[in-house]
Amino acid sequence: MQAVVHLIALGVLMVCSLTPSLVTAELKLGVLAPRGVIQAQNQWADFASYLSDRLGQPVTLIPLGPANIVPAAEARQVDLVLANAAHMVYLQERVKGIPLATLDGPEGPRFAGVILAKKGRGIRTIADLKGKHGMSLKFKEAAGAYIFQTYHLNQQGIDPHKDFASLREGQKQDDLVLAVQLGLIDVAFIRSGLLEAMEREGKIKIADFVIVDQRTDDGFEFVHSTDLYPEWYLSALPWVPAAVQADIKVAALQLTPDMPAAQAARVQGFIELLPLDGIQKVLKALNIHLYDAPASRSE
């Protein structure tokens, strides 16, 4: 009997010694950086600190380019991910990523794509895009700077890969806007809200550009060309303990617009999950598959 008691006591000690490592270990938050690493660091560093304070464990911010989000998750270089809806679909398929909350951004919980041209270049309608030189962010991975626009154009009989004179990949969305402004390219695919941000920063004037196929949607005040889709998703990877996932979700949902982390990120906070049906439909229609190789094991 005494031996059994000793074994139980030993088991309790082992659990107690292991639990802090699960609960207080560093968490790495991978954040999509469409405007570059420095901008992402400035925008989301306070949010990482906010999570650290709420969880009682360090959260380290890791800005990532569109092509690096899923590989970083597969390599276990990140534990949490804040990225677009297409990445959320890929994370679910590849590493069993667990969506926790949807971002409520400066535009609300949805955003869109913009098809941008410079005034005076003879581009006003979608038909005018044929034979022009365009630029987007990474094919397949960039939702608001490639996927939305490509689907929108395909629905109207235009394939940018076939009907444009060229379509190249850029590194940052700001650079795409400036390339159009300088006349280096004819058209750019960017996410909604970027033009307003760059004008606020004194970099451009929206009046100098043409928004091709511009549309309006009730309650959405930013210039855009495509349908609206869910904003970014905050997700956890399957090795993050369920209790920690729950705490992260609560912390995200309790972020309010007046908090420093929300103000630095220029967001309203987070809301309960929006469905991924719309982006899944778009990815299927475009026959977009991020990877052809079998998924890596997540556990």
Write down the pLDDT at residue 140: 85
Average pLDDT over residues 134-156: 94
Average pLDDT over residues 13-41: 74
Residue corresponding to tokens 């806007």: 177
Q: Is the pLDDT of residue 246 over 80?
A: yes
Q: In the structure, what pLDDT confidence band is assigned to residue 294 with cuts at 50, 70 and 90?
A: very low
Q: Which strand (E) or helix (H) includes residue 250? A: helix 242-253
Average pLDDT over residues 220-239: 97
Q: Is the dihedral of CA 134, 136, 139, 140 positive or negative?
A: negative
Q: In the structure, what pLDDT confidence band is assigned to residue 290 with cuts at 50, 70 and 90?
A: low
Q: Which two tokens stand for residue 13?
A: 């000690």
Q: Which two tokens stand for residue 186?
A: 């004819």
- What is the C-alpha separation between 28 and 287, in angstroms, rounded? 32
Write down the pLDDT at residue 24: 61
Q: Domains in the chain, ordered, with CATH? A: 2-108+231-285 (3.40.190.10), 111-211 (3.40.190.10)
Write down the pLDDT at residue 297: 37
Region of 189 (left: φ > 0; alpha: ψ -120 to 50; beta: rest) is: beta
Do 268 and 262 touch, CB atoms closer than 8 A? yes
Q: In the structure, what pLDDT confidence band is assigned to residue 299 with cuts at 50, 70 and 90?
A: very low
Express each pLDDT in 102-125 by its tens digit.
999 988 999 999 999 999 999 999
